[in-house]
Structure 1
Amino acid sequence: MRSITQLHMPDVEPGEPGEIRPEFRDVSPLDLHVDDAYQRDLSERSVTLIRRIVREWSWSAFKPPVTVDVDGALHVLDGQHTAIAAASHPRIDTIPVVVVPAPNSEDRAGAFVRHNRDRVTVTPMQLHHSLLAAGEEEARDVAAVCERAGVRILRNPPAMGKFAVGETVAIAALRSLVKRRFPVGARPVLDVCVQAQLAPVSAEMIKAVDAILHDAEYAGTVESGALVNTIRSLGPERWSEVAQLRTAHRMPKWKALTVVLYRHTRKSRRGS
């Protein structure tokens, strides 16, 4: 836990805050409006997001939409998905909104840009750690498998891109692996990656090792130890082979890596 502290910024000239401050109002979401001049229309992803907000509605996760008063009508600058979800929820009558000063259309468009630009996007790794703190089951499973295998999920990429053995930012690949193979099947994949001294444990390598250990085309034909040795011996020549295969067959990097790893790994007696 840390407190908010002031940053010393002698090279920054503070902007003029003005006299009119934002205010809160409690309004019906059906009374809100969206200006199509600068707001995007709803996409399929938007509808999916709105459905999820309605299904998982929680005031503890509620972020008040930011609006501006235009001749008595409130126009949404930021938070139209939340507003539409509230309007679609059968047990939500009113919501608090923030009303900011923006007297003309240029000010409103500029405020929209600022609200959508001046923010730090949460990375997938940071989101994973937040989900873990919130007790999400899938995040707990991923964390448990990684801990047992010696894989460390970073919150941010390391300085200068210098990873230590077992470190990773490939949270999407890890979640997909655990969801597809369950913890018992994910563990051998990560064991191979760590024993091969990978730094980082990349998404491409996770997918390639998973394919070789579990996919019907390869499963049971190589020993994990032999695969570890192949990965450790990967050099420029093998990576060039991966690149050539990708170009020739227009395949994803992890699939080309799978083929090259399998091609150069000693086969077990059962798979010979």
Structure 2
Amino acid sequence: MALIFITGSTEGLGRAAAQALIGQGHRVVLHARSAQRASALVDLSPRAAGVVVGDLGSATETRSVAAQVNALGRMDAVIHNAGIYAVKDRSATPEGHAAILAVNTLAPYMLTALVERPQRLIYLSSGMHRGGTGPLHDIDWTERRWDATRAYSESKLYVAALALAVARHWPEVLSHAVDPGWVPTRMGGRGAPDDLEEGHRTQTWLATCNDPAAMVSGGYWYHRERQAPATEASDPVFQDALMTRLAALTGMTLF
């Protein structure tokens, strides 16, 4: 059975993925933003391989999360599930701007660099990534007028490009991006039209299966079907420019 780390596993898609994998007999390492949020895992933690705690909006705490994961052993797979669309009461502030970039893009980048390299990496993107074309020099929105929807779309373009860049640079690792659909989670809202059950199946399948289709790295997936991502996501020039920008922002080089 595989040892799998899932970020943002206290609720929504991350929790659903954790429940499914634990039910299949896999060893799952859970993640909560804080000790208070970890209390939501009381029903899952006795059957889990561990629980790590840290706010992925903080570079310091993201480093701590990576250290906690590494202390539990080399993962077979990591599912980068954690993400935010807006920050309650702070979305229009500089801190709110920074949180979306930090959680959705910088944290997956940092964890990819810091967590001992697994056999499989799965990054949650979004169909909204196709509307995320923007200037990489202003990835942190210091020059433009803030647009939360555009910022979210950009962050999901960046994480898709990260997944495909990893596939290109680390051929020994199976790396994929997943669009889980617009599902009725706290972030997606109750009226979201997609299927919550389908929303987590692709990432759990990619983390554990030996299906020939899933064993070809560099895929962008929606409901277990490989699709074409935005042109930028699969463009090596864009990927490398993004990696350079993320290295400058985090102080760590991935490739």
Shorter-chain TM-score category?
A: under 0.3
Q: Give the strand-richer structure, 1 or 2.
A: 2
Structure with more relative contact order (C-alpha pairs < 8 Å, separation 6 or more): 2
Structure label with greater radius of gyration: 1
Output the TM-score relative to the length of structure 1.
0.23
Q: Give the helix-richer structure, 1 or 2.
A: 1
Output the TM-score relative to the length of structure 2.
0.24
